[in-house]
Structure 1
């Protein structure tokens, strides 16, 4: 840290309504032209004060006692300056005054900032954030605190202790101790980064500890149902009614592209007459708050009509009687087994199916699909285009093999 100029000078200040000669003794601390006055909590007769030198006049016991006290304060200021230098903290008049008067600088910690963020997020559940988002940040909080215990043997660390070493070791700990996959580890690091960036904006931390950390996500292969699997699921007759309900709700998502939480929140007033005279869904994605406007395909309309008189739907104004996500996914595994579908069927596969099998594979422009999915960026939709390209490639290779086989010359 660069050396800074430091000036100390004692002076007298007249109290309000003081008519005699008694004055308060103050210390002026000046660092690079910036000054702060510190009360010494001592009074002195202005007739016994050397204004030029800033010290008491005389050699009697009273003068010697005050002079000794002022020397002690001077020594304390220089000690505070050394402490700031050793701690690599900025030397300012404010910082020296705080050290001299015993006013501790407010400490900002990693876990403290995390807790504050999560408490504020909790208050905004249902308006700005989904409950699942808070759950993810709570998990990220727990991982961060457990890492600090593992690495540093402490419950918390000050934000100023965050650096590249912390971030890179956190990434290592998540992958080794917590057995997180690469993308999951990066997700938790991203949660921490969001909070740290907020702290930077508040001036609690200088410099970005994530600046040199380069984590690249692995590409996730998105699974979707084929046309044949979608047809098999549609035509399958189940003996248990609840499986029929879950299958219908899954298929509704396949033909609308709505995520589980958006189907769960869908109300009858979200189904409106469009400008073209057909029925449209008008809503917003809970995850991104992006508006979703899409015309309903006949298959989706038929499912809505099937539950038009459902007691729960009528009572609550729901479009469909959606169960909890956990139950839905549990029943979907049972449905997949009975339908001969070998894929690990989860509700999110329905959204992938809409993007690929239902829309892109049938020539719907990617820009239109992106709007219907409620994506804020076309980049997110392009992942689905890769699935379609892969399917085209597989089909063409299969065709090529058939053609080569059929064109083989026969031996005469």
Structure 2
């Protein structure tokens, strides 16, 4: 609707129309809650034993995104050179978003590190994860959701929202979370995750602590 209002303004300024049909119309933005996975749902997916390697790999990459917040294309492009030791002497994921062009700096937690270790030195071109095409990934994620009994559509968007919930409930500032998700406007994450800001200490806040990614 905002797009059409801009068109009308241009048309009026150029004399193509004489009156603004939206003059007395006020746009109201409805807040919509974004889905995310709970601690139990993540645990179920993490520990599920799959009969095929393709599902296991897609699951690993999805869980990696849940704990890093990286978009599909950024996970696909991730190389060893993006894993660096930062000022705190800990490993971080550093790079620039393919679509946003915004730099990201994300601490490498234990579970995603275990996933990287699992595929270490097994891939060409310095890549760190065996990422398939977006279409195949989404198709296999749907299959994984059914197998695991998760009544939510598993997507990389869901993984990113899960990461936002994870970090916000851990007490990470909304400014830091916004930067890790490559948002240039803090209002974006505030609108999407306003209901999570008071959940600190709950849900999936302790999932990465003292957890093993061993699902053999």
Give TM-score, length-normalised by structure 1. 0.43
Match of 2:150 among 341, 348, 355: 341
Gap change, CA 1:345 and 1:238, over 3 Å in 2 = same
Match of 2:186 among 357, 378, 381: 378
User: Is residue 189 of structure 2 the alignment partner of residue 362 of structure 1?
Assistant: no
User: Equivalent residue for 1:326?
Assistant: 135
Q: 2: distance between equivalents of 1:376 and 1:206?
A: 36
Q: Tell me, yes or no, if the aligned pair for 1:233 and 1:339 is still in contact at 8 Å.
A: yes
User: Is residue 30 of structure 2 the alignment partner of residue 218 of structure 1?
Assistant: yes
Q: 1: distance between equivalents of 2:112 and 2:15?
A: 53
Higher Cα radius of gyration: 1
Greater share of residues in strand: 1
Q: Tell me, yes or no, if the aligned pair for 1:360 and 1:385 is still in contact at 8 Å.
A: no
User: Equivalent residue for 2:114?
Assistant: 302
Q: 1: distance between equivalents of 2:61 and 2:68?
A: 11
Q: Tell me, yes or no, if the aligned pair for 2:168 and 2:196 is still in contact at 8 Å.
A: no
Q: 1: distance between equivalents of 2:135 and 2:29?
A: 27
Q: 1: distance between equivalents of 2:149 and 2:78?
A: 30
Q: Tell me, yes or no, if the aligned pair for 1:328 and 1:347 is still in contact at 8 Å.
A: no
Once the two structures are TM-superposed, the CA of residue 205 in structure 1 deviates from its matched residue by 4.9
Instruction: Show the 5 A alignment for 1:288-299.
Output: 288-299=100-111
Once the two structures are TM-superposed, the CA of residue 385 in structure 1 deviates from its matched residue by 3.1
Instruction: Show the 5 A alignment for 1:159-178.
Output: none
Give TM-score, length-normalised by structure 2. 0.78
Q: Tell me, yes or no, if the aligned pair for 2:69 and 2:164 is still in contact at 8 Å.
A: yes
Once the two structures are TM-superposed, the CA of residue 210 in structure 1 deviates from its matched residue by 9.5
Q: 2: distance between equivalents of 1:241 and 1:226?
A: 25
Match of 2:71 among 225, 235, 259: 259
Residues paired across the two proteins, number: 194
Instruction: Show the 5 A alignment for 1:86-125.
Output: none
Q: Tell me, yes or no, if the aligned pair for 2:44 and 2:148 is still in contact at 8 Å.
A: yes
1:333-355 Cα shifts (integer Å, max 9, x gaps): 11111112111212210000000
Q: Tell me, yes or no, if the aligned pair for 1:251 and 1:350 is still in contact at 8 Å.
A: yes
